[in-house]
Amino acid sequence: MPSLQIRHVRRLSTSASTISVSKAKAKLRSAYDPDKALEIYSSVSNHQTSHVSSRYAQDLTIKRLAKARRFSDIETLIESRKNDPKIAQESFLSTLIRSYGRAGMFDHAFRTFNQMDELKAPRSALSFNALLNACVQSKRLDEVPKLFDEIPQKYGFLPDKVSYGILIKSFCENGLVDSATETLKEMEVEGIEITAITFTTILDALYKKGNIDEADKIWNDIVKKGCSMDVAAYNVRLQYAHGGKPENAKALIDEMNTLGFTPDTISYNYLMTSYCKSGLIDEAKGVYQGLEGNGCHPNAATFRTLIFYMCRSEEFVQAYKVFKESVKFHKIPDFGTLKYLVEGLVKKSEMKKAKGLIRTVKKKFPASFLNAWKKLETDLGLSAPDESSQEE
């Protein structure tokens, strides 16, 4: 049946008007139904767009299908792309390897990499990095070092700084932080540039293990060597190094501004979280309200954190207003957070708001996602028809 759906969507796309990649991206962000995602993706005119610009739309579609465990449909979609005239371009073929990785289908990714001669596509660090990423995303972490040692030698190219970064990531995700730091030293000896992403990956792993002193030492060493930092590196420090104290998080953000780094939404989320955990809800609201003025937009984590802690403070009506804002931004929080809010609204006898919230969620997600909501609705006595319960 799912494979029939792909063929059905393709027939539709030949007769229906096509849409731009940017419009497809906007639609896909709020299209959680895999069939709807397929329909949107198939409406994109592949002949009028580059594979680089359409990759995000492809990735979102794969993500929706993978979540629904529609692996045969993923295979059908990606394999059909091998008929594209651009298949001989390494960059195009690499996007297919990446897509299999996003779905956790490493064997398919490896098979595609091995088909490159047949498809007349050259191999270099570009496609190799796509393969390594697919291996990491498929959680085949033990296989990454073997691929790293064997593939470049077999095909006659050298790993680049990105390749080393992926190797380090595999070590970190596998709990082998010592191997990651040894690889970092090897990069220095070989004169291979250590990217901010690689540095951040090791920093994150060290903080997670509680090795704060070692993480700080590596940070200081990197700074002394003049390596470029970025906002993501500072965000790791914000997440772990401030000890949960809002004043320390605020000091790090001030440091970022002083050094010319512009804090992003993630930076302010950590500051907001530190205020929330310290019981300073009004200060947390201030951070949220100041996002736009700081050139940022709230994401799902922003809304999830603020709503959760407002509910803990029993500010349910105010939290409901924040929920409505999350709907406008298409960043609706998870079920657990909103369940907390609905229960609080019922506790405060705000039945219209509780029903309005559930009605909104039902409109935004496919029926297959709503079993938990239906149960909650029944448990709280909200499932009875009530024409007066329009969302406020």
Amino acid code (one letter) for 161 = K
pLDDT reading at 47 higher than 50: no
Q: What are the residues whose beta carbons fall under 8 Å from the beta carbon of 101, sequence distance 6 or more?
A: 109, 130, 133, 134, 135, 136, 137, 138
103-117, 122-136, 148-162, 356-370: least confidently modelled range: 356-370
Looking at residue 346, what is its pLDDT? 96
Produce one character per residue of 146-171: b if its CB has 16 or more CB atoms within 10 Å, e if not: ebbeebbeeeebebbebbbbbbbbbb
Exposed / middle / buried, residue 57 (Cβ in 10 Å: 0-12, 13-18, 19+): buried
CA 148 to chain centre: 25
Q: What phi and psi values does residue 19 have, to the nearest 5 degrees? A: -125, 160
Q: What are the residues whose beta carbons fall under 8 Å from the beta carbon of 142, sequence distance 6 or more?
A: 174
- Tell me how crowded residue 318 is: count the other CB atoms within 10 A of its CB: 16
In sequence order, the β-bridge partners of residue 119 are none
Whether the CB-CB separation of 93 and 119 falls below 8 Å is answered with yes
- Reduced to 3 states (helix: H, G, I; strand: E, B; else coil), residue 77 is helix
In sequence order, the β-bridge partners of residue 19 are 44
**pLDDT, tens digit, 9 for 90 and up, residues 63-118:** 889 988 999 999 999 999 899 899 999 999 999 999 999 999 999 999 999 999 99
pLDDT band, very low/low/confident/very high, at 15 (cuts 50, 70, 90): very low
Q: Is 89 left (phi over 0), alpha (psi -120 to 50) or beta?
A: beta
pLDDT reading at 157 higher than 60: yes
Q: What average pLDDT score do residues 339-357 get?
A: 95
Strand extents, DSSP E, 170-231:
none
pLDDT reading at 58 higher than 90: no
In sequence order, the β-bridge partners of residue 44 are 19
Looking at residue 366, what is its pLDDT? 64
Q: Give CA angle at 205 (157, 308), nearest 5°.
A: 125
pLDDT reading at 244 higher than 80: no
Residue 389 exposure: Cα atoms within 13 Å on the Cβ side:
18
**pLDDT, tens digit, 9 for 90 and up, residues 200-212:** 999 999 998 888 8
pLDDT reading at 123 higher than 90: yes
Please report, for residues 81, 124, 128, the alpha-carbon distance to residue 198 in angstroms, rounded to integers and kept in the order given: 31, 20, 17
pLDDT reading at 373 higher than 70: yes
**pLDDT, tens digit, 9 for 90 and up, residues 324-337:** 999 999 899 999 99
Please report, for residues 94, 151, 160, 255, the alpha-carbon distance to residue 117 in angstroms, rounded to integers and kept in the order given: 14, 14, 22, 51
Looking at residue 57, what is its pLDDT? 81
pLDDT band, very low/low/confident/very high, at 49 (cuts 50, 70, 90): low
Residue (of 164, 158, 95) closest to 130 by Cα position = 95
**pLDDT, tens digit, 9 for 90 and up, residues 254-293:** 999 998 999 999 999 999 999 999 999 999 999 999 999 9
How does the average pLDDT of the chain come out, rounded? 87
pTM over 0.85? The answer is no
